[in-house]
């Protein structure tokens, strides 16, 4: 199965961002991609306004997703991204959506909000409280995560124990001292913890690192992007997951009870 991660600089104009997403979807579909992962919080972003993502929030039936859903009807690909959806006055939910066949087939409200490194996502964003259900793409079971979720190994592990063979991760990984090192290390660690593939798409720009990655179940980078707009591809195989889990049966060798995520 061919998978892809696409990254770009999100602008303050949601219509421009939607057109970029549609273009990336068209390019990926033309390359026979089954699963495309795009970055986090794609409606709008402004380097001078940290609250722009929430201020620009749209309902799931808003104009942004309608444009992407129209493109989704033209292909058989599964596309994953996150947008901010209004909740109460001045607040929103950071919501991962899965698009296929012109429909939203799954959604997930980000569990772990980025209250770290002098940033407080929870100031304007409401956290979810439910571990997302797995989806399936061409027979492969897929777990859903968003950005800061990567730092919590129990979430990747919980989904692997439910049967996930690949984890998707839309992100807007903020620049900072050692942050690129954290990114690369955590991606490899979560792949090894869970013996899953990971498809991680990172927004690029002045404040975020880009560096989208596709990682195999042994923590090896199969494809990686730099800091500019780019689409990366790799082929993933269920047989590889089974082979790795035979050689490295960490899911079977665990001595602790499965984590409970409420």
Domain annotation covers residue 43: yes
Check residue 249 and give its pLDDT.
98
Check residue 261 and give its pLDDT.
53
Range of the domain at 169: 2-253
- Quickly state the pLDDT bin for 4 (edges 50, 70, 90): very high
d(CA 166, CA 84): 24
Mean pLDDT, all residues of the chain = 96
- Scanning the structure block, which residue is given the tokens 């690129």? 180
DSSP 80-124: EEEEEEE-STT-EEEEEEEEETTEEEEEEE-SS--EETTEEGGGT
171 pLDDT above the threshold of 80: yes
Domain total of the chain: 1
Domain annotation covers residue 51: yes
Contacts 24+ apart (CB under 8 A), 13-17: 13/44, 14/43, 14/44, 14/56, 14/58, 14/63, 14/64, 15/63, 15/64, 15/67, 17/42, 17/43, 17/44, 17/64
Domain annotation covers residue 166: yes
Asked whether the whole model's pTM tops 0.75, one would answer yes
Check residue 256 and give its pLDDT.
79
Check residue 258 and give its pLDDT.
60
**pLDDT tens digit string along 89-107?**
999 999 999 999 999 999 9
55 pLDDT above the threshold of 70: yes
Domain annotation covers residue 168: yes
262 pLDDT above the threshold of 90: no
Domain annotation covers residue 59: yes
- Tell me the CA end-to-end span of the chain in Å, nearest whole number: 32
- 129 is written with which tokens? 């409280």
**pLDDT tens digit string along 192-215?**
999 999 999 999 999 999 999 999
At residue 244, φ and ψ (nearest 5 deg) are: -65, -40
Domain annotation covers residue 121: yes
Kindly list the distances between the CA atom of residue 106 and the CA atoms of 25, 89, 99, in Å, as whole numbers in the listed order: 18, 25, 8
Catalytic residue positions?
40, 110, 147
Range in 11-20, 71-80, 248-257 with the lowest mean pLDDT? 248-257
E strand or H helix at 214, and its extent?
Answer: strand 213-215
Check residue 95 and give its pLDDT.
98
Using DSSP's 3-state secondary structure scheme, residue 6 falls into strand
Could you give the percent of the chain with pLDDT greater than 70? 98
Check residue 259 and give its pLDDT.
57
Q: What is the CATH number of the domain that holds 75?
A: 3.60.110.10
22 pLDDT above the threshold of 70: yes
Strand-pairing partners, residue 140, are 137
Check residue 100 and give its pLDDT.
98
Domain annotation covers residue 261: no
Check residue 260 and give its pLDDT.
60
Domain annotation covers residue 46: yes
């Amino acid at each position: 199965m061919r998978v892809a991660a696409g990254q770009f600089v999100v602008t303050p104009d949601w219509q421009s961002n939607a057109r970029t997403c549609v273009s990336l979807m068209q390019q990926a579909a033309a390359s026979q991609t089954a699963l495309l992962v795009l970055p986090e919080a794609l409606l709008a972003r402004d380097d001078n306004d940290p609250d722009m993502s929430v201020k620009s929030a749209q309902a799931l039936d808003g104009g942004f997703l309608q444009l992407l859903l129209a493109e989704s009807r033209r292909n058989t690909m599964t596309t994953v991204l996150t947008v901010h959806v209004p909740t109460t006055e001045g607040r929103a939910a950071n919501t991962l959506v899965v698009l296929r066949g012109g429909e939203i087939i799954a959604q997930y409200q980000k569990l772990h909000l980025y209250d770290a490194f002098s940033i407080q996502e929870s100031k304007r964003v409401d956290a979810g409280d439910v571990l997302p259900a797995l989806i399936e793409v061409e027979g492969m079971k897929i777990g859903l995560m968003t950005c800061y979720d990567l730092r919590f190994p129990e979430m990747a592990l919980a989904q692997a124990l439910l049967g996930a063979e690949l984890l998707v991760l839309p992100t807007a990984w903020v620049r900072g001292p050692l942050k690129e090192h954290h990114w690369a290390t955590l991606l490899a660690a979560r792949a090894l913890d869970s013996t899953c593939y990971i498809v991680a798409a990172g927004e690029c720009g002045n404040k975020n690192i880009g560096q989208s990655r596709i990682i195999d179940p042994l923590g090896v980078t199969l494809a990686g992007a730099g800091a500019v707009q780019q689409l990366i591809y790799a082929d993933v195989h269920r047989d590889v997951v089974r082979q790795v889990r035979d050689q490295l049966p960490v899911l079977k060798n665990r001595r602790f009870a499965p984590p409970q995520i409420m």
